[in-house]
Amino acid sequence: MPAPTKMSICNFHSFCRIKTGMQAATFFLAVVGIYWLIGLIFATAFSVRGAQAIDESVVGAPIGFRLLIIPAAIALWPVLAHKWFWQRRTP
């Protein structure tokens, strides 16, 4: 069996970098997808109940407003969850 040449070692290492980069990208997209899914579930509940718990002026708001806040609630669900949780805990 011949000894590996410098060119074959370089090709192997570049393949490893591509494979590692693809794994990192796949992991990143999985994390973003999970964040989005949790946000979607949270935003649904928040638009129905949580928004009026945080701000009383939302009581009686039309469905259009509730649909309008869903994208922001998906993106900011950790902040809104924290506010909603502590709003219920404060006397």
DSSP H stretches of helix in the chain: 6-45, 51-54, 63-75, 77-89
Average pLDDT taken over every residue of the chain: 84
Within a domain: 41: yes
Within a domain: 55: yes
User: What pLDDT is recorded for position 21?
Assistant: 78
How many distinct structural domains can be found in the chain?
A: 1
Within a domain: 7: no
Range of the domain at 77: 28-89
Within a domain: 56: yes
Within a domain: 8: no
Does this model's pTM top 0.85?
A: no
pLDDT digits over 26-65, tens only? 999 999 999 999 999 999 999 999 998 888 898 989 999 9
Within a domain: 19: no
User: What pLDDT is recorded for position 24?
Assistant: 86
Within a domain: 58: yes
Within a domain: 1: no
Upper half-sphere CA count for residue 56 (Cβ side, 13 Å): 2
